[in-house]
Amino acid sequence: MAALVTGRPELAVLATPFVLLVAVALAGAPLAVDGELRLERDRALEGEKVRATVAVTNRGAPARVDVHLPAAAHLGTDPMPVGLWLGRDQGRVLRFELVARRWGVHGVGPAVVRVHDRLGAMTLDGPLGEPTDLRVYASVDRLRRIVAPLRTRPVLGSQVSRELGEGIEFADLRPLAPGDRVRRINWRATARRRAAYVNVQHPEHSADVVLFLDTFAEAELAEEGTLEAAVRAAAALASTYLARRDRVALVSLGGSLSWLAGSPGTGQLYRILDVLFSSQVKPSFRWRGVTHVPPRVLPARALVVALSPLLDERGIAALLDLRARGYDLVVLEISPLEPGDVESRAPALRLWRLQRDALRGRFEALGIPVARWEPPYAAVDMAIEEVITLRRHARPAHV
């Protein structure tokens, strides 16, 4: 156009190579690439490596293909793309290695592909393959001691029942009655009292345990938030109770209610872990949704172990409602305050600490033991020991 306007043909000669380049590029076959993203498995433990494969097939003209696999923040992968040359109808399988750095449900993919033709005149960018999820489980600890329920169910287990019957743990002595077995006679007491006495035992039953997870609010700390600590503690409690042949259920309340019905066995542990590691706080600035647990969700004789930061009034009201309905309730407070904050002289912080102390006193007045688990959330065993001690000295309350 400049040559026509100015009447100088050398300008047209200068533009001829570029025109030929565009003409050749447009005359060639279009660029087309498809592919599929796969994980070698969809579950892993923290610290494990998972291989991801991306199958790439070139359906168009020969081209250079660069493939990059972006991953979630807690899944380590190679940030450099993989480049290769593919002819028409050629395919390759590319392998990427993911490192599971933190528990949770992490999204993987889709892969990102960039295609260049032979002359570099045309470029195609876009996603490749469907996204998939990788569930990463944290290492689950076994607790040395657990909170014993006040009431059990008449099914064989490892919990020593407070009732009397056939068992191992000694409970009391009573005079021999018709129908008693000879092997239950206490010969020492019989010789001392000159009358036949038999041993009475506590039977070993199983229990219904409900893990109550408060997801109304969360305090984010430098290394680990209160929700993450609560999830780890719930996983350890579920593993320990299920190992003792108890029936464990999970209730998560945070504006919306989700629950997993109680069941024993190893399969229940993995179902609970799936729900726990998918837990998240959903912000809600209005008083809406479910704020109390329906009566039919919880077994009547269940021990309810609540894991809560005690930050939201709705979660606190739900716990008080459970106590008012007569449930055996203990609270493990996932404290958002670090131990170093105790000496702080900030008036607002001091006032907040006083409010939390008053809330604990309110719980204790109702016979609800509250144990604090403070950052850095190192040993949950110590917090469980505190719950057991407070429960032993808790005063029964009529509610």
Render pLDDT for 155-172 as a digit per residue (tens, 0 to 9).
655 666 666 666 676 777
Domain end point (choices 92, 114, 137):
137
Domain annotation covers residue 108: yes
Integer Cα distance of 91 and 156 in angstroms: 59
Assess whether pLDDT exceeds 70 at residue 255: no
Residues 6+ apart with CB under 8 A from 220: none
241 with 378, same domain: the answer is: yes
263 with 224, same domain: the answer is: yes
Averaged pLDDT for residues 48-70: 86
pLDDT at 159: 63
Residue 285 banded pLDDT, cuts 50, 70, 90: very low
245 with 122, same domain: the answer is: no
Residues 6+ apart with CB under 8 A from 26: none
- Cα(first)–Cα(last) distance of the chain, in Å? 92
Domain annotation covers residue 13: no
Supply the mean pLDDT for the chain: 79
179 with 286, same domain: the answer is: no
388 with 265, same domain: the answer is: yes
pLDDT at 399: 42
Q: What percent of the chain has pLDDT over 90?
A: 2
Domain end point (choices 156, 182, 202):
202
CATH number at residue 61: 2.60.40.10
SS in 3 state form for the chain?
A: CHHHHHCCHHHHHHHHHHHHHHHHHHHCCCCCEEEEEEECCCEEECCCEEEEEEEEEECCCCEEEEEECCECCCEECCCCCEEEEECCCCEEEEEEEEEECCCEEEEECCEEEEEEECCCCCEEEEEECCCEEEEEECCCCCCCCCCCCCCCEEEEEEEECCCCECCCEEEEEEECCCCCCHHHECHHHHHHHCCCEEEEEECEEECEEEEEEECCCCCCCCCCCHHHHHHHHHHHHHHHHHHCCCEEEEEEECECEEEEEEECCHHHHHHHHHHHCCCCCCCCCCCCCECCCCHHHCCCCCEEEEEECCCCHHHHHHHHHHHHCCCEEEEEEECCCCHHHHHCCCHHHHHHHHHHHHHHHHHHHCCCCEEEECCCCCCHHHHHHHHHHHHHHCCCCCC
Averaged pLDDT for residues 248-277: 80
Domain end point (choices 180, 202, 224):
202
Averaged pLDDT for residues 191-216: 83
318 with 233, same domain: the answer is: yes
184 with 128, same domain: the answer is: no
Domain annotation covers residue 154: no
Averaged pLDDT for residues 174-180: 82
Tell how far CA 202 is from the center of its chain. Answer: 36
User: 8-47, pLDDT tens digit by residue?
Assistant: 777 777 777 777 666 666 655 677 888 888 899 888 887 8
Assess whether pLDDT exceeds 80 at residue 135: yes
**Pairing assessment for the beta strands 33-39 and 49-58 based on DSSP bridges:** antiparallel
Under a CB-based contact definition with an 8 Å cutoff, are residues 369 and 392 in contact? no
388 with 256, same domain: the answer is: yes
Domain annotation covers residue 60: yes
Domain annotation covers residue 150: no
Averaged pLDDT for residues 370-391: 82
Domain that holds residue 188: 171-202
Phi then psi dihedrals of residue 349, to 5 deg: -70, -40
Which pair of tokens denotes residue 94?
């590319």
Assess whether pLDDT exceeds 50 at residue 398: no
Tell how far CA 37 is from the center of its chain. Answer: 26
Contacts 24+ apart (CB under 8 A), 291-297: 291/253, 291/255, 291/317, 291/318, 292/317, 292/318, 292/321, 293/212, 293/251, 293/253, 293/257, 293/259, 293/318, 293/321, 293/322, 294/257, 295/325, 297/251, 297/257, 297/259
pLDDT at 188: 86
244 with 178, same domain: the answer is: no
CA atoms within 13 A on the CB side of 355: 10
222 with 334, same domain: the answer is: yes
190 with 259, same domain: the answer is: no
Averaged pLDDT for residues 65-90: 80
Domain annotation covers residue 369: yes
Domain annotation covers residue 142: no
Averaged pLDDT for residues 348-352: 81
Segment among 13-17, 35-39, 267-271, 363-367 with least mean pLDDT: 13-17
Residue type, 138: A
Assess whether pLDDT exceeds 50 at residue 286: no
pLDDT at 164: 64
Domain annotation covers residue 309: yes
Q: Domain tally for the chain?
A: 3
pLDDT at 223: 57
Residue type, 315: G
pLDDT at 305: 92
267 with 388, same domain: the answer is: yes
